């Protein structure tokens, strides 16, 4: 197999000492930010972009991928042990996980989450290894019209699947698209929406938008609704391991979660949330211990955690082979590629095989490291949950300001950061999901470019988008993604 040879070359890159160091640093950082409330992998990668500007791209991406995977592992620790509802991707794990912890089975819950994440992550990375080259072959045949239609599909699915109100998702997406318009139009050199500020000619940096919406917006919002009193962390009794019975009940949910998570993550369908929900529902239906659901059923932790991690690997398929980000973290990774002057997509596999295959190989290594980090050392990470919130959020804001300022040493960037941060606060308060804005901002200019390229090839004939079969199919799916949730209530009423 061609892919196996390429993967072996990738291991030769990833197993060098410096790159192993970057992977270890990445997975450790990822676990830390995954455990900590108020900061996640998208924000962390965004904050690290200015720092990694001068580093070697291969090492940087191995670290970013480690942060991305590590965030998934760390997040499960929080949702199992912290007795407060978290963000929606991890809320499922907390349903059963926290109940298990409170019944004194926290160790088993953490173990099935970590081992399930490892199993799913490894299986999904293997799937990525073999699916990616096939996708590259398909993607090489795509023309500008097909790319544009694919991006429209990504827009609609991201806007309708992240968060539960399509209207609010689309509004957030449009805000991101609007921010992406700011600056000089690449084709004609015209300035757009620069407010007469010369610094705006280069456009708004996506790092500033991501850090503003995630870090500053979150700090404003949490401050306005701070949970008072001591942190309600459920202590772990006994060791972090599973009984024979736990293994017997966990292995099928792990496999089913992986099977569900990888393809759904690989579709341009908005990341890990949906497969997590589906896996929970599936395990609940299939379980012989259905009565236990809602009171701490181990299947309800094992399945969703596996689905979560498999979807995270799946998201890398469209990102690497098509240059199409479908989650906030993937959007920031795309920004990182652009910072290094690289464009992810089918050609990247030919021009930078070291980078792509080194990155994929490092995912296997990162998963193994994360299993070690999260089973014996979990007690260490739990202590992070006790950091006083004033110090945590003050630190996050200092790093947000630092990361933004060091982009260009510009106070204008800081002002932009804080204004966008306040918008992020309003979005949280009024139930607008933040991720579509980030995806829209990074993908919008690319979509516009492909759109205009397609039209100039067709001599201005707009029917090109429906005459090309691939493009027409994507557009039809995009229409369904938006129309189904909007029209469904009309049919239900009758």
Partner 1 sequence: MSQSVPTDTQQSVDAPTRSVGDLLVSLGVLALGGYFAYGAFNISVAQSYSRVGPRFFPFLVAAGLLLCGALLLVQALRGTTALPEEGEDVDLDVPPDYRAVAVIGASLVTYVLLLEPLGFVLASALLFWGVAAAFGSRVWFRDPLVGLVLALIVYLAFTRLLGLRLPAGMLAPLGL
In this structure, are residues 277 and 264 in contact, taking their beta carbons and an 8 Å threshold? no
In this structure, are residues 336 and 64 in contact, taking their beta carbons and an 8 Å threshold? yes
- Segment lying near partner 1 (by CB under 8 A), choices 119-127, 144-152, 310-318, 410-418: 410-418
Question: Is residue 168 involved in binding partner 1 (CB under 8 A)?
Answer: yes
Question: Is residue 389 involved in binding partner 1 (CB under 8 A)?
Answer: yes
Residue 459 burial (CB < 10 Å; 0-12/13-18/19+)?
exposed
Question: Is residue 277 involved in binding partner 1 (CB under 8 A)?
Answer: yes
- Segment lying near partner 1 (by CB under 8 A), choices 201-209, 258-266, 408-416, 463-471: 408-416
- Segment lying near partner 1 (by CB under 8 A), choices 14-22, 105-113, 347-355, 412-420: 412-420
Beta carbon of residue 17, minimum distance to partner 1 (angstroms, whole number): 19
| C-alpha torsion sign, points 322, 323, 326, 329 | positive
Query: How many residues touch partner 1 (CB under 8 A)?
Result: 85
In this structure, are residues 434 and 211 in contact, taking their beta carbons and an 8 Å threshold? no
Among 15, 20, 25, 174, binds partner 1 (CB under 8 A): 174
Beta carbon of residue 494, minimum distance to partner 1 (angstroms, whole number): 20
Which residues, at least 6 apart from 458, have a Cβ–Cβ distance to it below 8 Å?
145, 464
3-state SS assignment for residue 324: coil
131 C-beta neighbours (distance < 10 Å), count: 18
In this structure, are residues 430 and 422 in contact, taking their beta carbons and an 8 Å threshold? no
Question: Residues 42 to 71: which contact partner 1 by CB under 8 A?
Answer: 50-51, 54
Could you give the CA distance from residue 354 to residue 313 in angstroms, rounded to a whole number? 19
Question: Is residue 393 involved in binding partner 1 (CB under 8 A)?
Answer: yes
Among 4, 12, 87, 483, binds partner 1 (CB under 8 A): 87
Question: Is residue 425 involved in binding partner 1 (CB under 8 A)?
Answer: yes
Question: Residues 93 to 132: which contact partner 1 by CB under 8 A?
Answer: 95
Write out the two tokens for 298: 């181990």
Write out the two tokens for 387: 């950091």
Beta carbon of residue 422, minimum distance to partner 1 (angstroms, whole number): 7
Question: Is residue 422 involved in binding partner 1 (CB under 8 A)?
Answer: yes
Among 16, 88, 289, 339, binds partner 1 (CB under 8 A): 88
Question: Is residue 185 involved in binding partner 1 (CB under 8 A)?
Answer: yes
Among 18, 137, 138, 193, binds partner 1 (CB under 8 A): 193
Write out the two tokens for 424: 């992020």
Q: How far is CA 319 from the centre of its chain?
A: 11
Question: Is residue 397 involved in binding partner 1 (CB under 8 A)?
Answer: yes
Closer by beta carbon to partner 1, 78 or else 326: 78
- Segment lying near partner 1 (by CB under 8 A), choices 120-128, 332-340, 369-377, 389-397: 389-397
Among 15, 24, 25, 91, binds partner 1 (CB under 8 A): 91
- Segment lying near partner 1 (by CB under 8 A), choices 17-25, 26-34, 358-366, 398-406: 398-406
Question: Residues 284 to 303: which contact partner 1 by CB under 8 A?
Answer: 284
Closest C-alpha to 483, from 146, 271, 167: 167
In this structure, are residues 296 and 345 in contact, taking their beta carbons and an 8 Å threshold? no
Among 10, 26, 30, 37, binds partner 1 (CB under 8 A): 37
Among 130, 140, 202, 224, binds partner 1 (CB under 8 A): 224
Question: Is residue 175 involved in binding partner 1 (CB under 8 A)?
Answer: yes
Q: What does the angle CA 440 – CA 180 – CA 265 come to, to the nearest 5 degrees?
A: 20
296 C-beta neighbours (distance < 10 Å), count: 22
Could you give the CA distance from residue 31 to residue 34 in angstroms, rounded to a whole number? 5
Question: Is residue 406 involved in binding partner 1 (CB under 8 A)?
Answer: yes
Closest C-alpha to 302, from 348, 253, 259: 253
Closer by beta carbon to partner 1, 21 or else 85: 85
Closer by beta carbon to partner 1, 12 or else 431: 431
Which residues, at least 6 apart from 30, have a Cβ–Cβ distance to it below 8 Å?
41, 44, 66, 67, 68, 69, 70, 71, 72, 73, 74, 370
Closer by beta carbon to partner 1, 280 or else 364: 280
Among 147, 148, 214, 221, binds partner 1 (CB under 8 A): 221
Closer by beta carbon to partner 1, 162 or else 317: 162
Beta carbon of residue 346, minimum distance to partner 1 (angstroms, whole number): 25
Could you give the CA distance from residue 300 to residue 244 in angstroms, rounded to a whole number? 17
5 C-beta neighbours (distance < 10 Å), count: 10
Question: Is residue 243 involved in binding partner 1 (CB under 8 A)?
Answer: no
Beta carbon of residue 156, minimum distance to partner 1 (angstroms, whole number): 12
Closer by beta carbon to partner 1, 79 or else 129: 79
DSSP summary character for residue 395: H
Could you give the CA distance from residue 102 to residue 110 in angstroms, rounded to a whole number? 13
The CA R_g of the chain, rounded to the nearest whole Å, is: 22
Among 286, 402, 483, 488, binds partner 1 (CB under 8 A): 402
In this structure, are residues 213 and 434 in contact, taking their beta carbons and an 8 Å threshold? yes
Question: Is residue 390 involved in binding partner 1 (CB under 8 A)?
Answer: yes
Residues 426-465, mask of contacts with partner 1 (x by CB under 8 A): x-xxxxx-----------x---x--xx--xx---x-----
In angstroms, the Cα distances linking 376 to 77, 82, 234, 370, 490 are 13, 19, 18, 10, 53
Question: Residues 320 to 359: which contact partner 1 by CB under 8 A?
Answer: none
Closest C-alpha to 424, from 396, 391, 387, 402: 396
């Amino acid at each position: 197999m061609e892919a196996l040879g390429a993967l072996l070359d990738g291991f030769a890159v990833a197993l060098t000492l410096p790159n192993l160091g970057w992977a270890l640093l990445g997975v450790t950082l990822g676990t830390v930010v995954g455990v900590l409330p108020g900061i996640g992998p998208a924000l962390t990668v965004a904050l690290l972009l200015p720092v990694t500007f001068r580093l070697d791209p291969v090492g940087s991406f191995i670290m970013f991928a480690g942060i991305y995977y590590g965030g998934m592992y760390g997040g499960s620790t929080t949702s199992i042990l912290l007795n407060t509802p978290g963000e929606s991707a991890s809320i499922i794990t907390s349903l059963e996980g926290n109940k298990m912890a409170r019944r004194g089975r926290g160790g088993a819950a953490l173990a099935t989450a970590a081992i399930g994440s490892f199993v799913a992550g490894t299986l999904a990375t293997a799937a990525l290894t073999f699916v990616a080259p096939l996708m590259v072959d398909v993607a090489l045949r795509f023309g500008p019209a097909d790319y544009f239609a694919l991006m429209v599909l990504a827009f609609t699915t991201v806007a309708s699947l992240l968060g539960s109100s399509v209207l609010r998702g689309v509004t957030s997406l449009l805000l991101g698209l609007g921010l992406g318009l700011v600056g000089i139009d690449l084709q004609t050199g015209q300035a757009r929406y620069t407010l007469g500020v010369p610094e705006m000619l280069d456009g708004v940096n996506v790092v500033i938008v991501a850090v503003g919406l995630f870090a500053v917006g979150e700090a404003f919002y949490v401050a306005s609704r701070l949970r008072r009193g001591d942190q309600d962390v459920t202590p772990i009794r006994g060791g972090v391991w599973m009984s024979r019975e736990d293994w017997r009940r966990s292995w099928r949910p792990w496999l089913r979660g992986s099977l569900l998570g990888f393809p759904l993550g690989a579709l341009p369908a908005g990341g890990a949330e949906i497969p997590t929900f589906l896996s929970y529902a599936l395990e609940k239906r299939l379980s012989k211990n259905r009565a236990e659901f809602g009171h701490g059923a181990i299947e309800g932790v094992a399945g969703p955690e596996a689905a979560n991690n498999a979807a995270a690997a799946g998201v890398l398929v469209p990102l690497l082979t098509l240059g199409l980000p479908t989650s906030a973290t993937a959007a920031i990774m795309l920004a990182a590629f652009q910072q290094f002057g690289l464009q992810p997509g089918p050609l990247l596999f030919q021009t930078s095989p070291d980078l792509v295959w080194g990155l994929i190989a490092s995912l296997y290594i990162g998963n193994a490291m994360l299993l070690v980090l999260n089973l014996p050392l979990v007690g260490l990470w739990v202590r992070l949950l006790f950091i006083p919130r004033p110090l945590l959020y003050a630190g996050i804001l200092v790093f947000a300001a630092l990361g933004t300022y060091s982009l260009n040493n510009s106070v204008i960037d800081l002002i932009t950061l804080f204004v966008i941060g306040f918008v992020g606060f309003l979005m949280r308060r009024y139930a607008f999901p933040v991720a579509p804005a980030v995806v829209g901002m990074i993908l919008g200019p690319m979509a516009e470019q492909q759109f205009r390229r397609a039209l100039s090839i067709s001599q201005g004939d707009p029917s090109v988008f429906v005459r090309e079969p691939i493009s027409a199919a994507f557009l039809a799916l995009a229409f369904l993604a938006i129309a189904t949730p909007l029209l469904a209530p009309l049919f239900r009423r009758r």
